Amino acid sequence: MNLKNRVALVTGASRGIGAATAEVLASRGAQVAVSARTVSDLDQVAGRIRRAGGKALVVPCDVLDQVQVEAMVGAVMTEWGRLDILVNNAGMGTPTMPVETISPTDWDHTVALNLKSAFLAIRAAVPVMKTQKSGRIINVSSFAGRNFSRISGPQYSAAKAGILALTKHLAVELGPFGIGVNSVAPSIVLTARVKSKWEARTQEEQKTILAGIPLRRLAQPEEVATVIAFLASDDASYVNGVCIDINGGSYMV
């Protein structure tokens, strides 16, 4: 899975799956632009990449702002002149809650952050990839989009299910231009944010969740990142429109 001379852009790259993905892509030779809102966190990710001998570009962006998203892609083009890999990882879960307690404002924000953000990034990147006649887009969905969420609300599940439909539609639309579009659906991943939610559960609750996972453990961010790296590589050159489940066997289609 050599990604030498490839240019990648990872959204939501300040921590968790996004940061791990940026570092894995860079370790395999890609030049990686990392994007999120918190510059200090992005600087740390970029610093780790550079210390390991890779190339990184920090591009702060609010992924819900169309102008900023277009400027983000523009910054990558200015720096490296191409864009080969787009990883749409930006998003966030919600507290678990009954549907009748969710405000329309909360619903709209969650759907926008987890679904509209991917649309805006793809919309900005596709003209570049069409000109190149090549590109790989990987959208980060979730076990929640495949089934339901154990740690977030229904608005999050709905948004992540939307990612799966968006992926399939765009795989058909963009395939003739040499652009592959795929997704991954992780289950519970022990990012810093999720770890706090996990540790807040009782031991009995944790045991119940782990009992439903054949591997009997939660995923690490790097275990998602390596699958994304596969989809970004030539090893997956004929893979298009699929979702790879990364859940330890807890849900099988």
* Percent of the chain residues past pLDDT 70, beyond the cut: 99
Q: Pick the residue with more confidence: 191 or 6?
A: 6
pTM, to two decimals: 0.95
Catalytic residue (one of 46, 156, 188, 189)? 156
* Interval 2-19 mean pLDDT: 96
Query: Residues 2, 76, 118, 95: is their CA dihedral positive or negative?
Result: positive
Interval 55-114: pLDDT, tens = 999 999 999 999 999 999 999 999 999 999 999 999 998 888 899 999 999 999 999 999
Q: Determine whether 238 is an active site residue.
A: no
Residue ranges per structural domain of the chain: 7-189+220-246
What does the buried/exposed string (b/e) look like for 169-192 if buried means 16 or more CB atoms within 10 Å of the residue's CB?
ebbeebeeeebbbbbbbbbbbbbe
For the chain, how many helices (H) and strands (E)? 10, 7
Interval 133-190: pLDDT, tens = 999 999 999 998 998 887 789 999 999 999 999 999 999 999 999 999 999 999 989 9
CATH architecture of 7-189+220-246: 3-Layer(aba) Sandwich (3.40)
